[in-house]
């Protein structure tokens, strides 16, 4: 079916929630009731497969799914032949080495000859080889944090978000070895028709994410300070300037990136800007 694209999405968890939220913000309507493993959008040529996250790279590589949203850690660990289309910027986490809180830690050499439990043996082995560390890797799936307390391993290598799970299991994070976020991946040989649908989806994703990363700014500026105020606004293009009913004043409209927002606002106030309004942007096409 070249007139529809099939996307693999994690069936539950934070990555699933973030992925489906993004797709819905793209204006794509679908039903994903509890336990549902397959769904078709009603207003866009896309079909959903709800899968385990570690199965997604394989499904995409084999062409069962055309595209997928998966954690970068799973993509690298599975090492399947897929194409990274876009890093999505959400569901960020890190893969780290952790040891019991009671143990003193100096440096990576402490892992020389140690036994390490992990669900990510490939990424861990690459890190150890890079740092010339020889350790015994125990591959286990799930409940990695319990390994040191039951004597299975000296340390663990696992995904960390807040670090609270490590603390609850008497562990401390000592080395970050890999940073991960959600990525959009695709089969390496999409048909022209499916590639066109993917480009349409990317257009919507970019519009949503660009909107989230920017704010719409409206302010009143005295004309004698107008040039200075305009120079302080790092907009995409020249801001819109409209005369106000009150003589000697103008209204300035611009887009400001979220990362520089507070710095820009402070500078604008110091330059004489008044009545500053900040409005969220739902979508932004550039």
The residue to which tokens 């799930």 are assigned: 142
Tokens encoding 237: 């293009």
Question: What pLDDT is stored for residue 1 in this prediction?
Answer: 63
Are 193 and 220 in contact, with CB atoms under 8 Å apart?
no
Is residue 41 within 8 A of residue 24, CB to CB? The reply is: no
Residues of the chain falling short of pLDDT 50: none
Give me the pLDDT at residue 141, please.
Answer: 84
Q: What is the pLDDT of residue 161?
A: 79
pLDDT at 158: 93
DSSP string, 4-41: SEEEEEESSSHHHHHHHHHHHHTT------TT--EEE-
Q: pLDDT digits over 76-125, tens only?
A: 999 999 999 999 999 999 999 999 999 999 999 999 999 999 999 999 99
> Are both 93-180 and 214-280 of the same fold?
no
pTM of the predicted model as reported, rounded to 2 decimal places: 0.85
In this predicted structure, what is the pLDDT of residue 61? 97
CATH classification number, 93-180, choose in 3.30.110.70, 3.40.50.1000, 3.40.50.2000, 3.40.190.10: 3.40.190.10
214-280 belongs to CATH 3.30.70.120: yes
| Superfamily, domain 5-90+181-211 | Periplasmic binding protein-like II (3.40.190.10)
Q: List the chain domain ranges.
A: 5-90+181-211, 93-180, 214-280
**Tokens 């302010």 correspond to what residue?**
219
pLDDT of residue 132: 96
**Can you state the angle between helices 14-25 and 192-212, rounded to 10 degrees?**
100
Spatial separation of the C-alpha atoms in residues 55 and 9, rounded to whole Å = 10
Confidence at residue 236, expressed as pLDDT on a 0 to 100 scale: 58
């Amino acid at each position: 079916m070249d007139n529809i694209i099939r996307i693999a999405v994690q069936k539950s968890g934070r990555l699933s929630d973030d992925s489906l939220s993004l797709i819905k913000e793209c204006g794509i309507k679908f039903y994903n009731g509890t336990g549902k493993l397959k769904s078709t959008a009603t207003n866009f040529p896309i079909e959903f497969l709800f899968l385990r996250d570690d199965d997604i790279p394989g499904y995409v590589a084999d062409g069962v799914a055309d595209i997928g949203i998966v954690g970068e850690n799973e993509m690298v660990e599975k090492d399947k032949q897929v194409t990274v289309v876009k890093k999505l910027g959400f569901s960020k986490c890190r893969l780290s080495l952790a040891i019991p809180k009671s143990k003193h830690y100096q440096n990576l050499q402490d892992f020389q000859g140690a036994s390490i439990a992990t669900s990510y043996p490939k990424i861990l082995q690459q890190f150890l080889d890079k740092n010339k560390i020889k350790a015994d890797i125990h591959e286990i799936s799930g409940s990695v944090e319990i390994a040191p307390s039951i004597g299975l391993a000296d340390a663990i290598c696992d995904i960390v978000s807040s670090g609270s799970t490590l603390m609850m299991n008497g562990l401390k994070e000592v080395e970050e070895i890999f940073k991960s976020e959600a990525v959009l991946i695709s089969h390496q040989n999409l048909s022209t028709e499916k590639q066109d649908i993917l480009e349409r989806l990317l257009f919507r994703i970019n519009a949503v994410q660009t909107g989230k990363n920017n704010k719409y700014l409206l302010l009143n500026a005295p004309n004698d300070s107008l040039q200075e105020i305009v120079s302080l606004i790092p907009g995409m293009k020249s801001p819109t300037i409209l005369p106000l009913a009150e003589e000697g004043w103008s209204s300035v409209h611009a887009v400001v990136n979220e990362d520089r927002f507070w710095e820009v606002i402070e500078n604008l106030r110091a330059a004489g800007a008044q009545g500053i309004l900040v409005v969220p942007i739902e979508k932004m096409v550039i």
